[in-house]
Amino acid sequence: FNFSKINNWAAKKAKGNILLFLNNDTAVINKDWLANMVEHIQRKEVGAVGAKLLYANDLIQHAGVILGVGGVANHAFSNFDSSDNFYYGNLNVVRNYTACSAACLMVKKSVYSSINGMDENLKIAFNDIDLCMKIRNLGLLVTYTPYAQLYHYESKTRGYDLSLEKKTRLKLEEEILFKKWGGQLKNDPYYNRNLNDKK
């Protein structure tokens, strides 16, 4: 199984100008989710758009990605109640991030092609982080909209990375990402480090 390779193959076959990467373990919540993503991807300064993803219990699974928190990266507001405005309402406002999850990610096809799509060395993990960072390197934004909401039954198809083999693969992919992006993974321009201060 190579998530990046599958998506690169599909992107080459797609005839439209906009690509939507959507996991098979998702379920739509609001009917206008797609229109709410297209609203932003058609902006010239935007290269990718991510959605608000919930666990089955209505807690947040993904509301954007923050680099360098809890390892390589972590989902913003993970496990918070989806109706909670939390920190200055950031959970429920359109905003930019360095990355969003490819479980539901809209990308301009021209942009995807110009950066050679997903890195096929990142077979399972971090391919979306790498993709979004390449998009940002073009000077384009990665935008999150809370107005596209889906359930994401995370790892329902593949299972979790608990076996020694899967943990080893995850570690290798983490090393690939650090080799490519280095210190940028520890310095997310969309995150205030003071929020992570343990003093």
Q: What's the mean pLDDT in 48-71?
A: 93
Whether the predicted model's global pTM rises above the 0.75 cut: yes
Query: What does each C-alpha distance from 9 to 95, 116, 120 come to in angstroms?
Result: 30, 11, 11
Q: Do the Cβ atoms of 33 and 150 come closer than 8 Å?
A: yes
Which residues have CB under 8 Å from 36's CB, separation 6+? 30, 145, 147, 148
**Which element (helix H / strand E) includes 5?**
helix 3-13
Determine the pLDDT at residue 160.
52
> Nearest CA to 149 among 46, 66, 35?
35
Per-residue pLDDT at 199 exceeds 60 = no
Per-residue pLDDT at 72 exceeds 90 = no
Determine the pLDDT at residue 192.
84
Determine the pLDDT at residue 163.
65
Q: What's phi and psi for 165, nearest 5 deg?
A: -60, -45
Per-residue pLDDT at 158 exceeds 70 = no
Which residues have CB under 8 Å from 100's CB, separation 6+? 48, 49, 50, 51, 62, 64, 65, 128, 132, 142, 144
